[in-house]
A = this chain, B = another copy of it.
Amino acid sequence: MLPAAVIDQIKADLPEWHWQGVGQGASIMEVSHRGKAFEALINDAEQDLRDLLAIPANYSVLFMQGGAWGQFACVPMNLLRADEYAGYVVSGGWSKSASEEAAKFGEVAVLGLSEEDRYHWAPKLSTDIIEKYNKSHSRPDKLGETLWSYFYVCSNETVYGNELHTLPRDLPAPLVVDASSHFLSRAMDVSSCGLIYAGAQKNVGPAGVTIVIVRDDLLDRAPKAIPAVWHYAHMAKHKSLFNTPPVFSIYATALTLKWIKAQGGLDEMERRAVARSSMLYDAIDASKLFKAPVVKADRSRMNVVFDSPNEEIDKAFVTFCEARGLMSLKGHRVRGGMRASLYNAMPIEGVEALVAAMREFETIQSKL
């Protein structure tokens, strides 16, 4: 979902893109990515992102291609050294896939896993857990050296609906965060992370661009030759314009960043996210029919997962909602149940309508 104002602007910019009031003689899909206007746009987008997240000066902002699955490979190819470990916290399907993809390129240690509990909580990474792993895996030739290239968390798991509301700190190696599905829904302490990445398509723009925020000392760590388009140092050196970038997706992202700023920035995005998700979780917790399985401290503000007593009622409820114009409530195919995704562009009225539908459905069910 994109803000209506962004869609309107995209429409107004066809057939001719206007940059700061000046017509560019062609649409955004046709202008050169080496032209002055697009260069100004991508610089502007980077600055807006820096303003919104208070990104420190020693971090680079990259606009890449390949989505989160691309970064699942790109991160270990750039950062995972021979004879070291990458420490993964597996809190859902995405971090599980990320850890499996990383294992193609080096040694992976799983430092937290809640799969047995259907990922209904998010494991927390701590120096204690790491210390314990160090002791049980110490190698005489590495004594006194860190075993770790980086640690990895997915800070919002869309399928199971858990979210890390606090990032781990003071780790003995850089923290890598897949923030794809709650990026820009609240402030983040960038300085506590080595690298944060996010596919644009949840809160920031249309699919096709991946934002990577990376501390400069991590740019050029690739232990061997890797593809140029996936080499952080190479992309940073060329300010993401080394090869043809996904121009349209970056343009739409730039418009969305302006929209977020105009709405009041990340504090306002967080206020809205809390308002939307609290309203829905409160309604679920008050219901006798529906249950939210994720522990309260780890509940996602973006993806509210809930269940009825059985699959049949799940299905009936999804159909009941669709008839009221409330779409996309079916849970992910690997999990089932229901899921309401409440990204930045979702107005509170959408949640109010869903809560009303839940109550109505429950009343009908109770009379059956």
Contact = CB atoms under 8 A, between A and B. Distances in A.
Contacts of A14: 7, 10-11, 14
| Chain A interface helix/strand/loop/mixed | loop
Interface residues of A, number: 52
Taking the full assembly, how many copies of this chain does it contain?
A: 2
A225 interface: yes
A360 interface: no
B68 A67 contact: no
Nearest to A224: B104
Interface stretch (A213-221, A244-252, A294-302): A244-252
Contact of A208 (B30, B201, B246): B246
B208 A247 contact: yes
A4 interface: yes
A199 interface: yes
B252 A29 contact: yes
Interface string A6-36: 0110110011000000000111011011000
8 tightest A-B contacts by CB?
A: A73-B227, A208-B246, A29-B206, A104-B225, A69-B243, A11-B14, A65-B65, A208-B208
Interface of A: 1-2, 4, 7-8, 10-11, 14-15, 25-27, 29-30, 32-33, 65-70, 72-74, 77, 101, 104-105, 199, 201, 205-208, 225-230, 242-249, 252, 327-328
